[in-house]
Amino acid sequence: MNREERSRKNENMNQTDEDKRNSDKRNSKRNAGSGNPAEKHGRSRTEGRMTLLERYLVVEIGIEFKACLYFFCILFFYSVYRMIGGRMEAGILHMGEMILLTYGMGYVQFYLLSGFDEGDRLGAREIGDLLLCVGVYTAVSYLGRWFDRSIPVTVLFALYMTLAYLCGFLVYKIKRILDAKQLNEELRAFQERSRDETGY
């Protein structure tokens, strides 16, 4: 074999090795971009799973939010009643009873009444739970002399709390609709980004 043939053979071998390296690089990039679907799915399921502490915090934050909301509603009605009666001060004992009651009712609504005010619909069971909660608030207000045991004011307070619960139901329903719309938009944007990155 002469020198020219030997150099030509070496060039062919070098070109074959370079083509192989380029092919390996392309395959590794493609695998890195796509990944193993099973591994990705398992990893996403593990990362998206909430811990027991996180679930507890979510429940507690929801209960505290409702307690503050209903406490403000009751305090507003109570303050208007006191102002109409010519009294500009509020009873500290009454306010303590209100906040404790709203917290207690928050736990009852979540653990015993299945969060009826956050339900998808307002059926007979949800209306019964609503009237039960309104009855508890009304009874405590009467026994605690929040409104000096005035029957007309107590009846008006019961109607007021019924309206507050209905408004809360509508607010949560609107919030769920908006959250679902936002999640759909984020999912659509994620799919478009994935399509642009993979080229499929």
* Average pLDDT of the residues in 147-170: 96
What is the reported pLDDT for 84? 95
- Residue 59 contacts residue 115 (beta carbons within 8 Å): no
CB under 8 Å to 137, separation ≥6 — which residues? 74, 101, 105, 157, 158, 161
Cα–Cα distance for residue pair 24/197, rounded to 1 Å:
20
**37-89 pLDDT per residue, tens:** 444 444 444 456 778 888 889 889 989 999 999 999 999 999 999 999 999 98
Cα–Cα distance for residue pair 132/138, rounded to 1 Å:
10
- For the ranges 71-75, 122-126, 172-176, 195-199, the maximum mean pLDDT occurs at 71-75
Query: What percent of the chain shows pLDDT beyond 70?
Result: 75
CB under 8 Å to 63, separation ≥6 — which residues? 103, 106, 107, 110
Judged against a pLDDT cut of 80, whether residue 28 lies above it is answered with: no
* Average pLDDT of the residues in 14-34: 51
Identify the DSSP state of 113: S
Mean pLDDT of the chain: 82
Comparing C-alpha atoms, which of 162, 98, 167 is closest to residue 133? 162
What is the reported pLDDT for 169? 92
